[in-house]
Structure 1
Amino acid sequence: MSALIQKVPRRLGELLGPEGTVEFVDFLNRSFGQSHSSTIEVVTDRFERRLSEESSKLRLEMSELRSEFRSEFLKVRAEFSDLKADFADHRADIKSEISEIHKAISLQTKWILGVAIGSIGVFSIIVKF
């Protein structure tokens, strides 16, 4: 690390002398260097702790979202199964109604055929006379 302080004010330099000035500058640089290092350590520790706290909060929120999604998906699945059951009921109703229609058509066809055969018989009797 480079020296933070390289020279001192002139008046202080005169009071301390050349050797005292060098020692004082070295002392200040060591002190500021140690202070700088300890400040970086404290800030790093605080940052790591804060980062850990925030990541824990994010994990918690993500797990809550997962559980919400799961419950919502379960609701949607239940609704789809209800719809599937409703469609099956409607399909059965439609099949029974179609069966009834076929029975009615069959009965009508029998009557029409019977009337046609009867008409032929009656018409042939009328034509003979």
Structure 2
Amino acid sequence: MLMSALVRKVPKRLGELLGQEGIVEFVDFLNRAFGDSHSTAIEVVTDRFERRLSEESGKLRSEISELRVEFSNLRADIKSEVSEIHKAISLQTKWILGVMIGAIGIFSIIVKS
């Protein structure tokens, strides 16, 4: 991974102790160490993100599955209710027809008298 140098110069007193060649080596060492640390941090964050994403997508799949079961149960309940409504309408129609036939019979008896 290409990145700009994080450390470009060192304190004056340290520079006097290390010398010009030592400064260059020390700055290179620090930049490599910081670069490695940066790469490691990115890897750790990426791994955490991937793990979290997997967990959340698993939870989402589970919730979707639960919703499918709930919808299936609701469909069954609706079918049951529709069936009950059809039975009630059929029974009501039979009663209406029976009352009408009875009324016609009674009306015809009243008219003949």
TM class by shorter-chain length?
over 0.9
The aligned counterpart of 1:51 is 53
Provide the alpha-carbon RMSD of the alignment: 1.0
Identity of aligned residues (%): 55
SS at match of 1:2: coil
Please tell me whether residue 3 in structure 1 is matched to residue 8 in structure 2: no
Following the alignment from structure 1 to structure 2, what is the Cα–Cα distance between the partners of residues 80 and 86?
A: 10
Q: Normalised by the size of structure 2, how large is the TM-score?
A: 0.93
Q: Normalised by the size of structure 1, how large is the TM-score?
A: 0.82
Following the alignment from structure 1 to structure 2, what is the Cα–Cα distance between the partners of residues 52 and 21?
A: 46
Following the alignment from structure 2 to structure 1, what is the Cα–Cα distance between the partners of residues 21 and 36?
A: 23
* Structure 1 stretches of 4+ moved >4 Å: none
For structure 1, which runs of at least 5 residues remain unmatched after alignment? 112-129
Please tell me whether residue 94 in structure 1 is matched to residue 110 in structure 2: no
Letter in 2 for 1:64: E
Please tell me whether residue 75 in structure 1 is matched to residue 82 in structure 2: no
Q: Which has the higher contact order (CA 8 A, sep 6+)?
A: 2
Following the alignment from structure 1 to structure 2, what is the Cα–Cα distance between the partners of residues 7 and 22?
A: 9
Higher Cα radius of gyration: 1
How far the C-alpha of 1:73 sits from its partner, in A, is 2.0
How far the C-alpha of 1:24 sits from its partner, in A, is 0.5
Please tell me whether residue 17 in structure 1 is matched to residue 19 in structure 2: yes
- Superposed CA deviations along residues 46-96 of structure 1, whole A, max 9, x for unmatched, are 110110111001100110111012112211220121111111111111111
Please tell me whether residue 29 in structure 1 is matched to residue 31 in structure 2: yes
How far the C-alpha of 1:105 sits from its partner, in A, is 1.2
The aligned counterpart of 1:109 is 111
The aligned counterpart of 2:63 is 61
